[in-house]
Structure formats: C-alpha cells, structure tokens
Structure 1
Amino acid sequence: MSQTADGRAALVLPALDRAARGRLAATLDTTSGLLTPARRTWRTRPVVADGRAHVWFAVRRRGVDLSLERYKGLRRATVPLVRVRRRYEASQSPELLLALADELERRGVRDVPHVVRRLRDQARWLEDGGDLRGSPLKALPRENVLLDLLSLPSP
C-alpha cells in the first residue's frame, strides 16, 4: 500500500506491458474508493467503487483486466491483472491481488463475491508458484462482452 500525493492510503497498480518500466496503470484510493486510471478517454475515467458500480473481468487473448463501471458502462476504469504473450508474462503481485479483493469486498461493489473469489484464487496460485498460462484468471472464457460470472462453474 502506498500513498497518494495528498497523503491518503492507496493501492498502486503498475502497468504490466514489457515497456512499462514502472509506469502506473491505476490507483485505488482506499479512503474514498476512487479507482483512477492513469490513461483517460471520454469513457475511461475515475470510478467510485461502491454499491452502484459493477465489477467484471475483461478477458482477452493476451490477458485479463478488471473493469469497474458505473452509469451503464458510460464510465469505466480498467486495471490489468494478467498479461501473457509469446515471450512475456506478467501479473499483479499476490499481495496486491489480495488487497484489491479485500477492498472491493469491503466496498460492496455489485457482482463482487465471484470476482473476489477468483482474485484470491489467482493470488493463491501465484504464491504456490503456478504458471501464468494455467492460472485461474487466464482460464476464464474469452469474451468481449460483460461476463455473467454467476453462470461460470465454480473451480
């Protein structure tokens, strides 16, 4: 856990691409629950993690992101969790995944039980020395739409 510029506690989530060199992907302010992506567009902006926000996994060919959205998808913040490429693999640390799971659970975000369970499974997998290509998050079905996590079988 780090601190923001104004001294508040925050989870700092690094970018996972090979050229990131310590670049920031997003921060989650643990006081206010504001998830702030480093890159912003008209749709990708800071989102407050609360009971009106939805959380889901965006599973793509080269990795898995955690997406938090409000206002029927008009406002979204995305955090990279896993990147798997031919010659490069990266993941957020197990400690950071557990802290993120705890924070989302504490804030009561919608769809959180399934997301929290999978984040904790991923952290346990990494702590046990598992390979990223076979990790629980990478094993999720690839979709470009909102995953209905309730319909996924339990591991």
Structure 2
Amino acid sequence: MSSTAASGGVVAVRALDPAARGAVVARLDRGTGVLEPARRSLRNGPVHLSTRAAAVLTSDKRRTELMVARGMGWKYAIVPLIEIHDDAAVGVPADVARALADEMESRGVREMTAVIAPLRAHADHLDAGGPVASSPLGRYMGLGGGGIISSLGGF
C-alpha cells in the first residue's frame, strides 16, 4: 500500500509493502513538527524537525528511505520513500513527499545529502503522471533518473 496524507495537520506515512495492508509506519504532526515512527526502540523514536535535526536519504537495491536524526544522531526516525515489491516500484504519494519537504525546509532541518529537492522532484514527477519507477528518488537505488541497475528490466 502506498502512503497517504491525512487531514488535520497530520501526515500519516503508510507502509509501502502490500502485505502490510496500509499500516501507518510514521506520522508527521505539522503543528508541532514531530516526526514519529510507529515502531520505536532505544534509538528509533520521535524526532522534532528543527535546526538541530539533520536529514539524509539512504538507499540499497530495494528501497530508498528518509532518515532524520536529532543532535549527534542518537535519536532518529526513518520514513520509507520507495521500495521494490514483487518487481514493482512502490512509493509515497506526491502529497506526502511534498509535506515532508515543506516541513523540513520551513523548520530549518539540515540536509546532510540532498533531501528536499529530490522529495519535491518526486512529488512533481508523480503529479505529472510519471511512474514511481522513473521517479527522481529512484536514482538513489539505481532506478530512473539515469540509474545503473538494470536487473528490474520491465520498468
């Protein structure tokens, strides 16, 4: 299932794995600026988006994620952006990507790698009718945008 934005100032990020049946994996409270993952651990938990937070995109061959950490990286929250399931690329909807980018920019989150522009480019790409597989975020895992991984063929 893809992620969807909820009304009322809260953005609910839903699991990209169809087997998860749309379970919420993170919430962004636009009023307080808190990004809160559903699963918590000692280090994985709510992060306040502010100038003390840093954001990075992380990728491997099957997914691209947003990781936002506060302080020296002791506490972090991870949000899935694109994943491969059954040889199909699934990604967050445009409204979710745009909301994440807007909140990080307005609250002064530091980008350790380019984060805000790729999120907005992903949203614009989807709004223009482009498939997730050719999204600008896909290049981080070798899809679309000039990526070098060709094992997924039929995209």
TM-score (norm 1): 0.80
Number of aligned residue pairs: give it.
138
Task: Report what 1:2 is aligned to.
Answer: 6
* Counterpart-to-counterpart distance in 2, 1:43 and 1:76: 6
Q: Does 1:126 align with 2:126?
A: yes
Matched, 1:70 2:70: yes
SS in 2 for 1:100: helix
Match of residue 23 from structure 1: 23
Tell me which amino acid in the other structure corresponds to 1:108: G
Unpaired runs of 5+ in structure 2?
Answer: 143-155
CA distance in 2, matches of 1:9, 1:125: 24
Deviations 1:91-137 (A, max 9, x none): 11111111211111111101189311111111111122223223211
Q: Which amino acid aligns with 2:69?
A: E
Match of 1:94 in 2: 94
Q: CA RMSD in A?
A: 2.0
Is the CA contact 1:104–1:112 (under 8 Å) kept in the aligned structure 2? Answer: no
TM-score, structure 2 normalization: 0.80
CA–CA distance in 1 between the matches of 2:111 and 2:58? 14
Gapped regions of structure 1 (runs ≥ 5): 143-155
Q: Which residue of 2 aligns with 1:150?
A: none
Q: Report the counterpart of residue 110 of structure 1 in structure 2.
A: 110
Identity %: 36
